[in-house]
Amino acid sequence: MSAVWDFADFDDHEHVHMFRDRASGLTAVIAVHSTHLGPGAGGVRYWHYPQRAAAITDALRLSRGMSYKNAMAGLPMGGGKGVILADEGAAKTPEQLAAFGRAVESLGGAYVTAEDVGMSDADMVAISQHTRHVSGLPVASGEAGGDPGPLTALGVYLGIKAAIKEGLGTESAKGVRIAIQGVGSVGGGVARRLAADGAKLTLADVNLARAKALAEELGAELADSAAIMEIEADVLSPNALGAILSERSIEKLRVPIVAGGANNQLATAGDGQRIHDRGIVYAPDYVINAGGIINVALEYLGQGSREEVESRIAKIPGRLAEIWAESRASSTPASVVADRMAQKLIGRG
């Protein structure tokens, strides 16, 4: 395996830690990209990687995305990410969660963890028994914090509405054809909000039973999880795993708008240019999906109520509009415009 500095996605990360706890079987990576604005904050995911190097790549990419996301959301937090490597078909154990909590604590507050793919708020409670540096814990009604999924969904929904205005020139989602890839906590929440607005939905998920149940609930169409990338619609909303916008998939897109909550949607930096060259309105993922981190960051900082969280999330459409305006004015891809804004905010402009 190459040294971590030689990975293509290494971007002057401040910390990259590999953890192995023999007793519990924990194998994990924690990457901290930047602490320029504050401690590196970002969720931990539990995922099976056929090749372990892919887990390091994921941690590097995702932690950089969190630096940009937190900066663009106006939060006094840097960017970090945790990855717990799952054995194929194996469930995580209390012992592994405890070991991960100890790993987070060993970093002395450089990394603040929270819930991500494959994790739950109950897992966060278990981890919190072993570290102070965790957020996304159950909270009283009306307070910031708790499950970040519904608030990520709120921000993505508002961002899609902004993208519809930018790309289609209408304020309403009624009758707009929207293809949603991934209908878990975030995608499902987005789908329900858009259905209430009268949008015409097509849903897909690797968990076919989940997609089918939601389609029946909302009166939506159902599609294969891969085929939905090529469906003819007004909006494609990726809300599953990342790197789905590649040279090949971009060529086959049949939508004028791509806006969704998945992290790291662009497979490579050059794919932002490809989206731009096709005239597709693209919502940079770390801008549109910031609702969850706004929620858990304010919880960790002890600075806000649910009302304050929602007030900050309501600013997401304005940030996107600013990015699109600069993209038009400078003939620069929206992804590049957003990256430049974020890099300046974290002292790397």
Active site residues: 81
Contact 148, 206 (CB under 8 A): no
What values do phi and psi take at 191, rounded to 5?
Answer: -60, -45
- Provide the CB-side half-sphere exposure for 22 (13 A, CA): 0
Strand partners, 30: 17, 82
Contact 258, 249 (CB under 8 A): no
- In DSSP notation, 84-95 reads EEPPTTPPP-HH
| Residue among 346, 325, 343 at smallest CA distance from 334 | 325
3-state secondary structure of 252: helix
- Provide the CB-side half-sphere exposure for 36 (13 A, CA): 19
Contact 60, 7 (CB under 8 A): yes
Give the C-alpha separation, 220 to 109, whole Å. 45
Q: Strand 26-34 vs strand 15-21: parallel, antiparallel, or unpaired? A: antiparallel
